[in-house]
Amino acid sequence: MAVTGTPLTARAVMQDAPVIPVIVLHEVQHAVPMARALVAGGIRMLEVTLRTPQALACIEAIAREVSEAVVGAGTVRSSNDAAAAARAGARFAVSPGYTTALGSACREAGLPLLPGVATASEIMAAQAEGFDALKFFPALQSGGSAMLKAWQGPFGDVLFCPTGGIQPGNAAEFLALANVACVGGSWLVPGDALAQGDWERITALARAASQLARG
């Protein structure tokens, strides 16, 4: 299942499965079994957020030991974040927003970037620098599915991954939209499942997510 041959792109990351898990890890020993559990459920694009001191070590462990997974770094906000993520073995980057410096740093590091946007002006700024696969964040607070529907006209050439407030109960309304390639969500890796080492539960959540229908 590993992505080989052609270079990875942001669109390929978004189109691999209906959900990209947004993962917060506090213990390095959880990284590999969690990644294997997600892959077993059909989810292999894994966004490990840079929100904890252990995040880079977790990315490195997954990149080294779980060849079926494609691990990326989330909450990438600076050039230093991008460089550190690439050194750790990340294959893609996800950011809450976008700056020219970040876009350049990700290109230099060879990391496909899913930049975060919340307004039409931000979409246009990202498009002007070559980005057309974007993270809509925070999705619910920024207008939800109604905003994405409104963007289908002026931004029909853009694909989105709405993230922020997405849960199993509302994922389908986003995935039904033609301009949504996938959604981002933290529900696939609950904190209590990590703490308990309940990898079967994570696999079950991933399997259900991988079977969500897309428009």
* Two tokens, residue 143: 């207008």
Name the active-site residue from 135, 149, 173, 200.
Answer: 135
Active site residue 149: no
Active site residue 122: no
Q: Is residue 73 within 8 Å of 43, Cβ to Cβ?
A: no
Name the active-site residue from 47, 68, 108, 122.
Answer: 47
DSSP notation for 142-205: TTHHHHHHHHTTTTTT-EEEEBSS--HHHHHHHHTSTTB--EEESTTS-HHHHHHT-HHHHHHH
By annotation, the residues acting in catalysis are 47, 135
